[in-house]
Amino acid sequence: MARTRQRTPNEVALIGRHTQQRSVVLAAFIRADGFVGAQALHSQLAADGTPVGLSTVYRTLTRLADAGRADLVRDPGGERLFRYRPGPDHRHYLICTECGLNRPVDSGPIEDWADGIAQDSGFAHVRHTVELSGVCPDCGRAPATAERR
Amino acid sequence: MARTRQRTPNEVALIGRHTQQRSVVLAAFIRADGFVGAQALHSQLAADGTPVGLSTVYRTLTRLADAGRADLVRDPGGERLFRYRPGPDHRHYLICTECGLNRPVDSGPIEDWADGIAQDSGFAHVRHTVELSGVCPDCGRAPATAERR
DNA sequence: CGCTAGGTGCAAATGATTTTCACATCAATG
DNA sequence: CATTGATGTGAAAATCATTTGCACCTAGCG
Ligand SMILES: [Mn+2]
Ligand SMILES: [Mn+2]
Ligand SMILES: [Zn+2]
Ligand SMILES: [Zn+2]
Beta bridge partners of B70: B84
In this structure, what DSSP letter does residue B84 have? E
| pLDDT of B146 above 60 | no
* Cβ contact B132–A124 (<8 Å): no
Instruction: Please report which helix (H) or strand (E) contains residue B102, including its range.
Output: strand B102-104
Which amino acid type is present at position A118?
A: A
How far is CA A61 from each of CA A80, A103, B84, rounded to the nearest angstrom? 10, 21, 35
User: A85 with A69: CB under 8 angstroms?
Assistant: yes
The neighbour count for residue A58, using CB atoms within 10 Å, is 17
Cα within 13 Å of Cα(B139), Cβ side? 20
How far is the centre of ligand 1, averaged over its atoms, from the C-alpha of B81 (Å)? 22
The pLDDT tens digits of the residues spanning A22-80 come to 999 999 999 998 899 999 999 999 999 999 999 999 999 999 999 999 999 998 889 99
Q: What would the mean pLDDT of B36-63 be, rounded to a whole number?
A: 97
- A86, pLDDT greater than 90: no
Q: In this predicted model, what pLDDT tens digit does every residue of B61-119 receive, in sequence order?
A: 999 999 999 999 998 889 999 999 988 788 899 988 888 788 889 999 999 999 999 99
Could you tell me where the DSSP H helices lie in chain A? 11-14, 20-32, 38-47, 54-66, 108-121, 137-141
Of B105, B109, B135, the CB nearest to A125: B135
CA–C1' A149–D23 (A): 37
Any known ligand binding at B96? yes
In whole angstroms, C6 C1' to A39 CA is 38
For the stretch B36-53, what's the b/e string if a residue is b when 16 or more beta carbons lie within 10 angstroms of its beta carbon?
bbbeebbebbeeeebebe
Architecture of domain B1-86: Orthogonal Bundle (1.10)
The dotted CATH code for A90-149 is 3.30.1490.190
In contact, B139 and B98? CB cutoff 8 Å: yes
Domain-wise residue ranges, chain A: 1-86, 90-149
Partners of B109 on chain A (C-beta within 8 Å) are 109-110, 113
